[in-house]
Amino acid sequence: MRPTAEPIRIAVLDDYQNVALRYADWSPLQGRAEVCVFNDHLSDPQAVVDRLREFDVVCVMRERTPLTAAMLSQLPRMALIVTTAMGNAAIDVEAALKQGAVVCGTGAVHNGTPELIWLHVLALARQLSAEQELLRAGRWQFGVGCDLDGATMGIVGLGRMGSRVARVALAFGMHVVAWSQNLTPERAAENGARYVDKESLFRESDFVVTCLQLGPRTRGVIGARELSLMKPSAYFINTSRAPLVDEPALIAALRDGRIAGAGIDVFEQEPLAADHPLRSLRNVFITPHLGYVTEAQYRLFYGETVEDIVAWLNGAPIRCIGFQRQA
């Protein structure tokens, strides 16, 4: 399905900051492709299909725009899908492969989300949003911050991201407890954490941080029951994936003051609706899914996106998802 005569058409979706062309050298595609960058986001699947009908290649930024089987079936011209990173739950890879499209990905760096977690932790501990708002309004010193030294950090998932968070928590003088479905006491100890069961983690922790990948076993892993076990003085942080958490249960806990606050970077629907309740809750620190949005990440994402397209045009091996392409 790879075009050979005329220049191909490439759609780069959801470039919110208008930086895709700046963070990579697209010149290797000059004369071989027409690159169209879209800065807006389309939520309606049919509108996405209508936009993409005349494109041979689509480049997607993480899971901002889904490509379902129903959508792909209306895009017979689509020959190559490039996703940033090597996994994307929003793309029906099997459906794409069945209709002859190639699906490939890029590498990723892994420091961004753990760093953002600590922005949330510190902002909540020192009531940053309220302090800034009142300071700009002419007030001086609103609340009293809580100490990290001696507090307990509960990490749900102690893998690549969670282990980074644990190391920083220890540097702050915090006690670290951890739980996940596959975690062992030995693995926890290797990262300076104490293994506890799920209920104990929520009861003991002053800060609960989710560091899990989304999958069938982890979807909804944190619900009303887990949140009800938390201390009224405790904070909850989710920068991983929104479906890990029962969002209505979290909103209810925050509204009722059953937990002190939350830091949220990921949402069921993105971009977040203007009237979403999380925008108006005073005990919430929210960011617009910034975990992976760093310069190093974008350079790698867009740089390897170009590499994938060039390799595909040249018939060379590329970073395929779903099957291994031969040279």
Active-site residue set: 241, 270, 289
CA distances from 148 to 55, 73, 145, 207 (A): 51, 52, 9, 9
CB 289 within 8 A of CB 270: yes
Give the three-class secondary structure for 21: coil
Please provide the DSSP assignment of 203-221 as one string: HH-SEEEE----STTTTT-
262, β-bridge pairs: 236, 284
**What percent of the chain is helix, strand and coil (3-state, nearest 5)?**
35, 15, 50
Contact by Cβ (8 Å): 47, 71 = no
Question: Pick from 59, 87, 94: which is nearest to 306 by CA?
Answer: 59
Q: How many helices (H) and strands (E) does the chain have?
A: 11, 12
Nearest to 148 by CA among 127, 123, 169: 169
| Opening angle at CA 296, ends 294 and 297, nearest 5 | 65
